[in-house]
Structure 1
Amino acid sequence: MNYTLQPDELVSDGIKRIIDTKVQRGIEHIDSDTDTHETVHEVRKRCKEIRAAVRLVRPVLPTYKRENVHYRDAARRISAIRDAHAAIETFDNHLEPAIEARDALDDATLSDIRTTLVTRRDTIAAEQNVERRLSEVRADLVDGRKRVSDLPIATEGFDSVAGGLRKSYKRARNRMQEAYDDPEFEHFHEWRKRIKYHRYHCRLLRRVWVGPIKSRRTELKELSDIIGYENDLAEFAIVMNEEELFTPEIREILNEISTAKRSEYHRQGRPLGERLFAEHPDQLVTRIGAYWEATHEYDPDP
């Protein structure tokens, strides 16, 4: 897998290979004839994957801040366009089915809601000039790629990834507690980001023990999706209310359903999160380190 550190390569070589590959994929997405909004989504994912790779070696990469900010800012160029499209997906996948199940609105009203969301997305894409934005992101990717071969990763072996792994896991663990102590949108949004970084790090480290790490990644993906749905519903409600989309009566119905669905996702995420983040960060790092040593020192055919 191209997003996995291999046992027979130095960590520095692997991280550089992975970043270079993801930059190239981002450029290919932009240069392809794929649907514009799918391109925006895929390019932002590539930037997140690159940032996760950089974060894994953060303590031993002196230029970490520069690289992280570079790809963060590249993705931000198209974030408003992506968010506008995500609002349509949230309506299609979560709100509309719930509305139909309750028979809360008629088909014509549902069609009008979706039309409003599509018009809003297309207006934002036109105002921001999505093609120009993607061209700017492409230039960012090309510029970042020039530095990949010279990334000054200072240490090899498990020591080079232990600190980044610990930080991503610890932050996800702490953000979970904050989210359930004070279930505001910002807290769950922050938790989701940290879950995804930890999931990416497990993907990067999957070869230390493929079976158990794959199982963990699967559960992290499920948790990330659950909290992601919660985030999407919260953002939909914020936009709908701030921009006064739809009539007050329709907003009231959508707010009620959104709140109920968010509570449902809160409940679904809690037991999964408690299991995935049960270990103290030091324990998790020690365990993954033991897997690393077994694979690199003793496995004749990793």
Structure 2
Amino acid sequence: MSFELSLPIPLSLLLRDAALGEVESARSALKRGRPKDIHSARKHCKKLRALLQLLQPVLRRRTRRSLDHAVRDAARAVAVRREARVMSETLETLAQRHEMYADALLALREPVRKQVRRHAEPQGTRIALDRLDTVREAIEILDLETADAAALERGLRRSYRKARKRARVAAENPQAERLHEWRKRSKAHAYACDLLVPLWPVLEDRSHRLSMLNDALGEHHDLADLLRALDALDSIDPALRVVIEAEQQGCAHAALAFGDALFGDKAKHWSLALEDRYGGGD
């Protein structure tokens, strides 16, 4: 790509403000503490990790990895609280789609919730806030003066390359673990595109299509988590397993179809295709 940026303030300031904004949004959501707020906090953490990956060309490897791990640990500290709610919502969605099994599915909500919350970190919110405080202090003193459009392009291609690699592995054998690894890379690439839309609006269409891909991968992951929780309870009806696995297959097929369209080209060809399609920046 050869997009050009025309900005009223230095790019380094925009990037720092964006990173600090994600930190503060995550912290605010954690303090509110409702299930939807925990979900929001984890999304802000993922966006921040995507931004750090975009900045890989200008950050020292040790610095980037240290920040990335701290943000990852913050999100993990409160993951179980969100997972319990997601599994309950997944069971409710399945009940709406399969009325024949609705009562049996809804009856599993409380046992599953208790099973999942057994593994919750009691001080999860405090741990997450502490990690994010450390990250905020580090971001405030980061040297981002060398961050320019070319560096962001390299970071974006890198995120594309990683997601494409996982897409190809998943296509060879679409097991839950492989699809989940693809989901993590695809979400990081999607967040990178989202973050760059204000600078390069041409990425908005791709961001929208990546959202549909990640919805399919996310639903597949939620169903896989649900199956694991039910197996731990040793309480799953074989008929329900058939229903859940059929839903998973539908998600996998949809995701692979999106993947063919979104990650079919090698990174360098994808970059050139964007430039040819849009003719440079705004």
TM-score (norm 1): 0.83
* Aligned counterpart, 1:98: 97
Q: Quote how far apart the aligned CAs of 1:87 are.
A: 1.3
Report the Cα distance in structure 1 between the residues aligned to 2:276 and 2:194, rounded to whole angstroms.
17
What letter corresponds to residue 259 of structure 1 in structure 2? E
Report the Cα distance in structure 2 between the residues aligned to 1:45 and 1:182, rounded to whole angstroms.
28
Q: What do the CA deviations read for 1:61-88 (whole angstroms, capped 9, x no partner)? A: 1111111111011111112222222211
1:207 alignment partner, SS class: coil
Q: Quote how far apart the aligned CAs of 1:202 are.
A: 0.9
Moved more, 153-162 or 286-295: 286-295
Alignment of 1:1-302 (within 5 A): 7-32=7-32, 35=34, 37-62=35-60, 63-93=63-93, 95-100=94-99, 103=100, 105=101, 107=103, 109-121=104-116, 123-125=118-120, 128-129=121-122, 132-153=123-144, 155-210=146-201, 212-241=202-231, 243-246=232-235, 248=236, 250=237, 252-286=238-272, 294-295=280-281
Contact 1:176/1:273 (8 A) holds in 2: yes
Q: Quote how far apart the aligned CAs of 1:106 are.
A: 5.9
Report the Cα distance in structure 2 between the residues aligned to 1:6 and 1:75, rounded to whole angstroms.
34
Structure 2 unaligned segments of length 5 or more: list them: none
Change (3 A) 1:209 1:68: closer
Report the Cα distance in structure 2 between the residues aligned to 1:288 and 1:8, rounded to whole angstroms.
25
Report the Cα distance in structure 2 between the residues aligned to 1:191 and 1:198, rounded to whole angstroms.
11
1:270 alignment partner, SS class: helix
Structure 1 unaligned segments of length 5 or more: list them: none
Change (3 A) 1:80 1:31: closer
Change (3 A) 1:133 1:47: same
Moved more, 180-189 or 262-271: 262-271
Change (3 A) 1:164 1:292: farther
Report the Cα distance in structure 1 between the residues aligned to 2:6 and 2:97, rounded to whole angstroms.
45
Contact 1:176/1:191 (8 A) holds in 2: yes
TM-score (norm 2): 0.88
Contact 2:30/2:125 (8 A) holds in 1: yes
Q: What do the CA deviations read for 1:123-177 (whole angstroms, capped 9, x no partner)? A: 555xx32xx3112211221221111121123623222212221111011111111
Report the Cα distance in structure 2 between the residues aligned to 1:293 and 1:13, rounded to whole angstroms.
27
Report the Cα distance in structure 2 between the residues aligned to 1:27 and 1:208, rounded to whole angstroms.
26
Q: Quote how far apart the aligned CAs of 1:292 are.
A: 10
Report the Cα distance in structure 1 between the residues aligned to 2:213 and 2:116, rounded to whole angstroms.
28
What letter corresponds to residue 15 of structure 1 in structure 2? L
What letter corresponds to residue 14 of structure 1 in structure 2? L
Report the Cα distance in structure 2 between the residues aligned to 1:190 and 1:110, rounded to whole angstroms.
28
Contact 1:11/1:160 (8 A) holds in 2: no
Aligned residues: 276
Identity of aligned pairs, percent? 26
What letter corresponds to residue 230 of structure 1 in structure 2? H
**Aligned Cα root-mean-square deviation (Å):** 2.4
Q: Quote how far apart the aligned CAs of 1:285 are.
A: 3.1
Q: Quote how far apart the aligned CAs of 1:254 are.
A: 2.1
Q: Quote how far apart the aligned CAs of 1:6 are.
A: 7.8
